[in-house]
Amino acid sequence: MLLAGFSLLLFLAPWLPPAAKPPVARVDLENCNGCERCVDDCPYGAVMMQPRSDSSSYAQEAVVDPSLCVSCGICVGACPTATPFRQATALSPGIDLPDLSTAMLRAEVEAAGAILSGSDRVMIFTCTGSAPMRELADASTALVAVRCMAHLPPSFLDYILSRELADGVFLAGCQGSDCEYRLGAEWTRQRIGRQRDPHLRQRIDRRRIALAWGGKPVHALAAFRRQISSLPGAAMELMPHGGNLRRLSRLPLQAIFYGLFAVAASVFAAWPVFELLQPGQAVISLTFSHAGQRLKECRRLDQAELDKLPPNMRKPMDCQRERRPVELVFRLDGEILYQASLPPSGVWEDGESTVYARFPVNSGDHQLFIGMNDSGRETGFDYQHQAVISLAPEQNVVVEFDHERQTFVVR
Amino acid sequence: MPLLQWKPSYSVGIPAVDFEHREMIGMINGLYGQLENEPDASAVAAVLGEIHAQISAHFALEERLMREAGYGEYAEHKGSHEELLEQIRDLMDSHADDPQAGGALLQRSLSDWFGLHFSTFDTRLHRAL
């Protein structure tokens, strides 16, 4: 029933109304001069330029295609007017997310900065795909959520650090398949590295900014905190965000791992030694499967017993599945080469017992005997075979059990 | 007498760029007057923030036009834009730290670099376009 309902749901899925999606990015012509940075950065090709629709002196304006826009906010992060330093007029950038506007973001950043205390205050930015990290928030750690890491304009980092709203900014973004949107990490890295517009201002102490992608960056955050608390007035020059140090220590580690791999490879190349046959030897192999008899005979159920069972489970014979082990003895020239009790296979111990054994022997004539029990009898054998075989050097003789004729075969 | 005055020679022949240059001259003159009369630190800071945003957008537009025109000295011009944006941010911070001294510095610096921006780079761009 449940399965049928689920199947029906899957079948109807293409016709179901789409999940509610946040409102798409909106262009504010008052603040758009047609610089095209949003067009350059939109990973979905959702922003286009078209001739100006108002009477301003500008030639072009940005237009959002609502069917392509996923409301990631990456265009806002690219817009030069999305700077929190604007204070005389309303903070309305040329392009903005209606439900998470730049003005709202600034208000949130200012509120977070107002309650932070201590000398190592960190403002963590998370994106839609970040790991949940609510519990990291404390007196000196604030969390601010953006849609995508590249939604955050680099000027916000300048704003937070120069207004001393925090001592460090930690960008905790998503990674790989956790990401809701494309290119967020790439654009963020490039903007902070001043390879992509808008550039992060050079004047900002880069050591007060950390980037971490994927997972819950507990250790990276702790290291970052140590770094920023040692910064003001510290004469010691720290390596930028510890990356170099980690990269350096990686080299010898890598060398050690490669070395271990080479040693392991050479060991297994020479050992264990593969034994070729001695000159003048032949091989006899026992290789077959045989099912032991069932532990108990099948029993016919009487009518009273059948009536007790549900109708679909009534079958006249009650058979136990377990089988006996198969006892096997193999002698060559009167000497026992192999003797074993082979257990049945399978979880229910109802499968065949299998033997695979290989004996190098001297070539020449041999008296061969094999006996097998599958009924659990104490003396004698259920099946046995005796033969004189003549082995040539390097000959390979196989002893099998023929199930049809219920007899051993030597060939 | 305003600090800066628009001259026809400033025109680069692109309406959008000329319009923004005029707007910026207006803003800088406004700020200059503000600093002369009653320098209320927070009002000055607010106007500075506005100028910073305007100039960021202006440079972004200029850079786009330069790229479209295949302007040969793009990298150099772009570098000077970034440099100027750094300087404005420095000015904003020095004013925030000390509105008195910062204000005086502003009056000197703003007209200086704005004049420089006009005379050197934008006219060269004009010729290139």
Chain segment B33-65, per-residue pLDDT in tens: 877 776 678 888 888 899 899 999 999 998 998
H or E element, residue B60? helix B41-69
Model confidence band, residue A249 (pLDDT cutoffs 50, 70, 90)? low
Calpha distance A386→A372 (Å, rounded): 12
| Closest in B15, B56, B59 to A57, CB measured | B15
Question: Is B9 within a domain?
Answer: no
Question: Is B109 within a domain?
Answer: yes
Distances (CA, A) of B2 to A105, A127, A248, A286, B9: 37, 47, 59, 109, 18
| Closest in A33, A155, A158 to B61, CB measured | A33
Q: In the prediction, which pLDDT does A243 show?
A: 42
Residue in B11, B47, B50, B56 to test binding to A, most A beta-carbons within 10 Å: B56
Other beta carbons less than 10 A from residue A17's beta carbon: 5
Calpha distance A31→A53 (Å, rounded): 14
Dmax (CA) of chain B: 46
**Where do the domains of chain A lie?**
20-232+239-245, 281-296+322-410
Distances (CA, A) of B110 to A85, A151, B70, B114: 18, 31, 30, 6
Question: Is B8 within a domain?
Answer: no
Model confidence band, residue A244 (pLDDT cutoffs 50, 70, 90)? very low
Residue B95 has pLDDT above 80, yes or no: yes
- For B92, name the nearest residue in chain A, comparing CA atoms only: A85
Structural domains of chain B, count: 1
Instruction: Identify the weakest region by mean pLDDT among A282-296, A333-347, B28-42.
Output: B28-42
Tokens in use for A317?
């014979």
Q: In the prediction, which pLDDT does A107 show?
A: 95
The mean per-residue pLDDT over the stretch A355-362 comes to 88
A-B C-beta contacts closer than 8 Å = 78
Question: Is B79 within a domain?
Answer: yes
| Closest in B19, B60, B93 to A37, CB measured | B60
Q: In the prediction, which pLDDT does A187 show?
A: 95
What are φ and ψ of residue A262, in 5° steps? -65, -45
Residue B74 has pLDDT above 90, yes or no: no
A27 neighbourhood in chain B, CB within 8 Å = none
Which of these CATH numbers, 3.30.70.20, 3.30.420.40, 3.20.20.100, 3.40.50.300, describes A20-232+239-245?
A: 3.30.70.20
Rounded mean pLDDT of chain A? 87
Question: Is B33 within a domain?
Answer: yes
Question: Is B10 within a domain?
Answer: no
B61 neighbourhood in chain A, CB within 8 Å = 33-35
B47 neighbourhood in chain A, CB within 8 Å = 88
Model confidence band, residue A138 (pLDDT cutoffs 50, 70, 90)? very high
The mean per-residue pLDDT over the stretch A97-125 comes to 93
What is A281-296+322-410's CATH number? Answer: 2.60.40
Residue A240 has pLDDT above 70, yes or no: no
Residue A197 contacts B, CB cutoff 8 Å: yes
Residue A134 has pLDDT above 60, yes or no: yes
Q: In the prediction, which pLDDT does A74 show?
A: 96
Distances (CA, A) of A302 to A258, A295, A297, A311: 71, 21, 16, 14
Burial of residue A292 (number of CB atoms within 10 Å: 0-12, 13-18, 19+): buried
Structural domain containing residue B107: 15-128
> Complex ipTM, two decimals?
0.88
Residue B116 contacts A, CB cutoff 8 Å: no
Residue A237 has pLDDT above 60, yes or no: no
Contacts (Cβ under 8 Å, ≥6 apart) of A37: A78, A79, A80, A197, A198, B60, B64
The mean per-residue pLDDT over the stretch A217-228 comes to 91
Question: Is B6 within a domain?
Answer: no
Cβ contact A86–B52 (<8 Å) = yes
Question: Is B77 within a domain?
Answer: yes
